[in-house]
Structure 1
Amino acid sequence: MDILDDSKNTSICMQCNQRIINYSNQLCRKQFLSPSRINECSKIRSVQINQENKIESGNLIIDEFIKETQLNSKCCDDFIEWVSCSNLENIKYLTFGGNSKIYSGTWKLNQLSTNIALKVTKDSNNINDNILNELKIHHKCRSQNIIPFYGITKSPEGDEYAMIIKHAEHGDLRNYIRKFFPKLTWTDRIKILIELSKALNSLHQMNLLHMDFHCKNILVDEADRIFLSDFGLCQPIDSEMVSSSIQGVLPYIAPEVLRNKPYTKQSEVYSISMIMWELTSNKPPFSNKHHDVELALSILDGLRPNTVEGTPDFYTNIMKQCWDSDPLKRPDASLLPKIFEEMIELCKMADDKTVSSKVAFYSLPPQIESERETKSFGFDNMLPAYHSESEEKLFMSNENNYETKAYEYSLNIPQVPQELPPSPLLSASQHPPSPFQSSLPAPPPPPPFPPFQSSLPAPPPPLRRSRLPEASQFPKSGYRYQMEDADINEIEGGYRYKMEDVDINETEEDPRYNTQTYAFSLDHLNKAYTELINNRSRLSDFS
């Protein structure tokens, strides 16, 4: 689906009379172009590039990318512009995230100005395929749910390049939750989820997967509008790119992805479940755990955040379905907007203190039941409060089991011999004489249970950590939190994982929740998990 051809997602700019993708905010992007690129007679932007007015980025790849967006422009605000540093003012450093630094500033041109943010990607002075891919995909997936991408300029510091995007007044969603959590109602929460699911849906309709969906990649502006950002890991749905590394933010990565299975739309439904939990807790998931291979093994083993007390059941039910280990048991990604919209009235009731106690155990509205008959995939697993026809028949057939009646068996205790057969666990010398003892010679004792042998080489001695390192101790190069394969501790031929609780200052930026590449590999993680399951199965058989 081409989002630009969808009239529902566009409006008309009142100044240049062209379609506009993002809301205009009294700002016509045409006026931000240099006069040589504006057709003053028709008052619309010319799609022809004035070859005499060359783009001066200093990089041929960037020049060609900018020209391509302008030549193919169809709307008022669907092109990329090279912006000179002289047109940027009040530049201030804000924060870092993943492999980028974020600045705020003001863009001035032709007596107009707008607040912008600069995203400076590490090593962008050498434009490689990954950096170019992010630029192209961010431009391609432009819509009302995507943070507007205006142009490219030089970094305020160094020789790197910076993306010019819309400034989001409230920053990322984590900062927004932290700032407004005491005032957030259940209606507010569900409205955020509606916008998030719509944004994700629009991306999927363009045959794209975000693949890095977490609160720090979701921005909120002054009007509380929700935008997706950071498309560095974004890939086409049918991409055949294979990687053995783990990239993203570990608590938001779906279990099947950790199991080295394909990343799908349903993997991003799992990420939404973690955001749902964060909206109820005012904390990012697993903030009290080290984000290492031990946590990854625990997630594969079924570990999920504890439900926050006071969360309505209708909300909890959907959240738990979204984080199901089986992606096929999660609600379909395309149905999430409607699912959340159906919860609006229940959220309003939960917010009303006079009825909140009655709505605590409600499920979703019954009108969805009729839709379950027409939607075979998605809704079937969505509503635990409703039963299938076969389940109803089973309940009906079992009704007679609960009638009062006399049973044929009695409560008399049967007589047993005073002397029981000898236990095989006792040695022959420990057995008392028994009339039941056989005259045959005693069988030889069973061989001892063989020790479990790991097929993996023993890693170095485990690192003992009593607390999480301070933020200053995290490596600054790439902002990568180093957790080595040695974090999998081999013991007695198998593997163990024991997590230690950690304390984090919730008011400080936590580098664990920045996008990163983890140092332990998918291959080693899955070998360790397979060893864990096999060892558990052997112990179960022995017992």
Structure 2
Amino acid sequence: MEGPRWNLDEEAEVWTRNGPIKVILKRLDNSQNISQEFVNQLYRYHKCLQSGALTDCFGMTKDPTSCYMFVIRYYKNGNLYSYLDETMGILCWKDIVEMLWSISAGLNFIHEYNLVHGHLHGGNILVENELDSIDAKITDTGLHGHANGKISQNYGVIPFVAPEIFDGNTPTKESDIYSFGMIMWMLSACVRPYCDRPHDSQLIQEICSGTRPNIVNGTPPVFSSLMLKCLDANPSIRPTASQLYEWLGNWVTAICDDPEQSDLSDQFDVAEETKFANLDKLKFNITPCHENAIYISRPLDSIGVYY
């Protein structure tokens, strides 16, 4: 497309387009007969998008069946799953922390608008890696399920779903934080969570009983501690998105900007040395996904929940 009108021509006193720009289309299923509740949700979503902390959205259009579609900027590195595949899982801790800080910024804005994403996983994080920085943005904010409002059920990608959702509860800000914790684990391990086993009712039972992925050897203690709080079975123990954004911002400052060494920067320095000490012997991202490890959203009640 020609691109948004983001450039001001001061002489002509007009806004000019900065394109051409590649876009993708996000289709809203069954939106020919869109419900008023969903319209209200779209309005809140649009307001949230203006923050700049989420994926760039340039407007809406319709497909041949009259379903509405969002026009969203194309991110050349794809989603978080494809980015890990592309990099063979070789990520430095600086990039991991910067990506998480960017994701937390988006989640914080979502929650400040009193919205719940409800569907946060690696497929809904879009990545763009520039020469001197890496950017990760949340997409699909609260837009899961059907736009006509006729279907009332929870959707999700099992490894990223908080245990209380499997009990039939609706998504909350706290369940978003659990999903964020699983994204933390995925970036620290550089593989998809539970990729070596079926995503079935047995896995759901184990998650509800307290099973979590093992902490990867060499993970900074401060990182492990925050991740485990996000993954706590008790939603009230989990931090808020605002706290995540503040704490991760402090990590970025300590790792990237502060010339003075600190306990925080020392932890990440040691972790970096541990991770890359024997780079030629490391085998990143070699665990093949089980054929029944499913990383696309599906109705949870179709898997035999709830308990």
**TM-score, L = length of structure 1:** 0.44
How far apart in 2 are the matches of 1:140 and 1:521?
A: 35
How far apart in 1 are the matches of 2:104 and 2:178?
A: 12
Does the 8 Å contact 1:350/1:356 carry over to 2?
no
**Which residue pairs with 2:5 in the alignment?**
28
**Which residue pairs with 1:116 in the alignment?**
23
Structure 1 gaps of 5+ residues are 1-25, 32-40, 46-75, 77-109, 236-240, 358-502, 527-543
Aligned length: 276
Change (3 A) 1:505 1:136: farther
Q: Secondary structure at the match of 2:22?
A: strand
Q: Secondary structure at the match of 2:294?
A: helix
**Which residue pairs with 2:173 in the alignment?**
265
Deviations 1:253-290 (A, max 9, x none): 11122223453322111111100110022222111222
Greater helix fraction, Structure 1 or Structure 2: 2
Q: Secondary structure at the match of 1:200?
A: helix
Q: What letter is aligned with 2:251?
A: M
Q: What letter is aligned with 2:306?
A: L
How far apart in 2 are the matches of 1:111 and 1:184?
A: 32
Change (3 A) 1:134 1:287: farther
How far apart in 2 are the matches of 1:161 and 1:339?
A: 38
**Which residue pairs with 2:140 in the alignment?**
230
How far apart in 2 are the matches of 1:178 and 1:352?
A: 25
**TM-score, L = length of structure 2:** 0.74
Structure 2 gaps of 5+ residues are 255-262, 275-285
Cα deviation for residue 148 of structure 1 reads 1.9
**Which residue pairs with 2:116 in the alignment?**
209
**Which residue pairs with 1:301 in the alignment?**
209
**Percent of aligned pairs sharing the same letter:** 28
Does the 8 Å contact 1:209/1:234 carry over to 2?
no
1:220 aligns with 2:190: no
**Which residue pairs with 2:259 in the alignment?**
none
Cα deviation for residue 352 of structure 1 reads 3.8
How far apart in 2 are the matches of 1:111 and 1:172?
A: 24
RMSD: 3.8
How far apart in 2 are the matches of 1:230 and 1:340?
A: 23
Matches within 5 A, 1:47-446: 112-124=19-31, 126-129=32-35, 132=39, 135-142=42-49, 143-155=51-63, 160-223=67-130, 224-233=134-143, 245-261=153-169, 263-344=171-252, 345=254, 348-350=265-267, 352=269, 356=273
How far apart in 2 are the matches of 1:504 and 1:161?
A: 38
Deviations 1:61-109 (A, max 9, x none): xxxxxxxxxxxxxxx9xxxxxxxxxxxxxxxxxxxxxxxxxxxxxxxxx
Does the 8 Å contact 1:137/1:234 carry over to 2?
no
Does the 8 Å contact 1:245/1:520 carry over to 2?
no
Q: What letter is aligned with 2:215?
A: T
How far apart in 2 are the matches of 1:222 and 1:42?
A: 35
How far apart in 1 are the matches of 2:271 and 2:40?
A: 52
**Could you say which structure has the greater relative contact order, defined with CA pairs below 8 angstroms and 6 or more residues apart?**
2
Deviations 1:107-137 (A, max 9, x none): xxx895222112234445x243387566434
**Which residue pairs with 2:13 in the alignment?**
43
Cα deviation for residue 191 of structure 1 reads 1.2
Change (3 A) 1:121 1:264: closer
Deviations 1:503-523 (A, max 9, x none): 9845x998821122134488x
Does the 8 Å contact 2:27/2:67 carry over to 1?
yes
Deviations 1:450-492 (A, max 9, x none): xxxxxxxxxxxxxxxxxxxxxxxxxxxxxxxxxxxxxxxxxxx
Cα deviation for residue 162 of structure 1 reads 3.2
Q: Secondary structure at the match of 1:512?
A: coil
Change (3 A) 1:167 1:244: closer
Please point out which of 275, 296, 299 is paired with 1:514: 296
